[in-house]
Amino acid sequence: MNENTKKLFSATATPLASIFGSGFLVIVPILAGAVGPYSLTAMAAVCGLAYAVGCVIRYNIRHAEPLLENDQVPKRTRYYEGASDLALVAAYVISVCLYINILASFLLGGIGEQYDTPRNEHILSVAVIALIGAIGYFKGLQALAKLEKLALGVTLLIIVALFAGFASYDIKTIAGDIQWPKVPSHSWWEILTIVGGTLIVVQGFETSRYLGKAFDAPTRIQSSRLSQIISTVVYLVFIALATPLMHFLGDTVKDNDLIMLAGKASVLLPLPLVIAAVLSQFSAAVADTLGGSGNTVEATHNHVDLKQATLLICGGSVILAFAPTLTILALASRAFAFYYMLQCFVASSLTKSALQRFLFRLLAAVLAFVTFFSVPAG
């Protein structure tokens, strides 16, 4: 493996870990409850929307970054960029809370269904967020950030194991009679707003935009694109293999139902799934705490230092931790959609192409819909 390939793989690890940390654990029950047998189509639509946004992020890496660094942009562009930095901080607060809530749900669900209560989830979530905040304040989170590649490796292994387990179940049922999930009784508006609320599950590709100190622009553009291609293929295969098991899900959408589905495919899957969930969500929460803290320091022009920023991020996450996980997920989707919309405005304000400007604004309109109207599943 040559040096450029190693550099690309290293640059791809961060956005890919963030994407898988955001949603593969919860997407199956959400789509099953929203669209049932049409889950693959819905997943393809969400991935398509995310890829379009990724094109905007990569445009801004190539074109906006140099102009912003040299202060050669219109005033409105700098306003959009500054507003998007603040929006990203708020999105990080929500996403840290989301990751830890998912961690708590899977850990308690893995221990035993009797322990998986809202009260226990809230207590565990607050405790873990407080632990991250304390470590960040007194010791710094850089050492914990090294978990990222380990977490990504474990996550990819469990995804492969789930693929194998679900595929084995599907092959067995083909010989008999496949029972497809029923079509939920939702209106088109309800479907659009619920599916729009899953945007967070494909979030993470934008982290390449903020790795400028470690990688050059061409590498970051390639890593962002590669992370989206890999994650899109994985998500589509995952949903396709999981659809024949969706009939096991009840009418109530539960965030940790994947544990039950894994058990239906193989008794060997639930334990490694829970371990991977805990590791990946903790790693993703640490990464977003670091990212949010760094953005806060920059957005406040060093009026808030890194320790104070860490406490602000974790403090906001603690407040949100008492909301249901699926509500936090929809809120996170709204927050990132707003950030992406502002990035569309940045790109639109710089392009000289009328067609590009139209497409950037059209995408911004779609993201505005997600920002204002997306709702939690269930």
pLDDT over 90 (residue 27) = yes
Instruction: Supply the pLDDT for residue 340.
Output: 96
| 243, 312, 338 from 89: Cα distances, Å | 35, 10, 12
Closest CA to 97 of 211, 242, 206, 200: 200
Dump pLDDT digits (tens) for 239-268: 999 999 999 988 788 888 999 999 999 999
Q: How far apart are CA 88 and CA 320, in angstroms?
A: 16
- How far, in whole angstroms, is CA 158 from its chain's centroid? 17
249 domain residue, yes or no: yes
8 domain residue, yes or no: no
Spatial contact of 200 and 332, defined as CB atoms under 8 Å apart = yes
Q: What are phi and psi of 79, to 5 degrees?
A: -65, -45
pLDDT category of residue 21 using cuts at 50, 70 and 90:
confident
151 domain residue, yes or no: yes
Two structure tokens written together for 365: 């309109």
pLDDT category of residue 96 using cuts at 50, 70 and 90:
very high
Instruction: Supply the pLDDT for residue 1.
Output: 62
Range of the domain at 277: 13-373
Split into its structural domains, the chain has a count of 1
Question: Pick the residue with more confidence: 321 or 378?
Answer: 321
DSSP symbols for 213-275 = TTS-HHHHHHHHHHHHHHHHHHHHHHHHHHGGGGGGS-SS--TTHHHHHHHHH-TTSHHHHHH
The pTM for the full model equals 0.93
1 domain residue, yes or no: no
Instruction: Supply the pLDDT for residue 4.
Output: 80
pLDDT over 70 (residue 160) = yes
Spatial contact of 200 and 22, defined as CB atoms under 8 Å apart = yes
Instruction: Read off the pLDDT of each residue in 16-24 and give the average, rounded to a whole number.
Output: 80
Q: In CATH, what number is assigned to the domain containing residue 353?
A: 1.20.1740.10
Closest CA to 30 of 285, 279, 332: 332
Q: How far apart are CA 235 and CA 47, in angstroms?
A: 8
| 27, 93, 147, 182, 242 from 39: Cα distances, Å | 10, 29, 32, 11, 9
Instruction: Supply the pLDDT for residue 67.
Output: 92
240 domain residue, yes or no: yes
Location of structure tokens 């991935």: 47
Dump pLDDT digits (tens) for 129-158: 999 999 988 888 877 767 777 887 888 888
308 domain residue, yes or no: yes
DSSP symbols for 107-174 = HHHHH-GGG--HHHHHHHHHHHHHHHHHHHHHT-SHHHHTHHHHHHHHHHHHHHHHHHHHHHHHHHHH
Instruction: Supply the pLDDT for residue 22.
Output: 65
105 domain residue, yes or no: yes
The mean of the pLDDT values for the chain is: 90
Instruction: Read off the pLDDT of each residue in 207-217 and give the average, rounded to a whole number.
Output: 84
Q: How far apart are CA 202 and CA 243, in angstroms?
A: 19
Instruction: Read off the pLDDT of each residue in 1-30 and give the average, rounded to a whole number.
Output: 84
Q: How far apart are CA 339 and CA 337, in angstroms?
A: 5
Mutual angle of helices 27-35 and 188-196, in 10-degree steps? 170
Spatial contact of 249 and 257, defined as CB atoms under 8 Å apart = yes
Q: How far apart are CA 71 and CA 305, in angstroms?
A: 25
pLDDT over 70 (residue 332) = yes
Rounded percentage of the chain residues whose pLDDT exceeds 70:
99
The residues, any chain, with a CB within 8 Å of residue 236's CB and separated by 6 or more, are 40, 43, 44, 47
Rounded percentage of the chain residues whose pLDDT exceeds 90:
63
Q: How far apart are CA 250 and CA 239, in angstroms?
A: 17
Instruction: Supply the pLDDT for residue 318.
Output: 95
Two structure tokens written together for 88: 């990203």
Dump pLDDT digits (tens) for 342-372: 999 999 999 999 999 999 999 999 999 999 9
Q: How far apart are CA 315 and CA 133, in angstroms?
A: 8
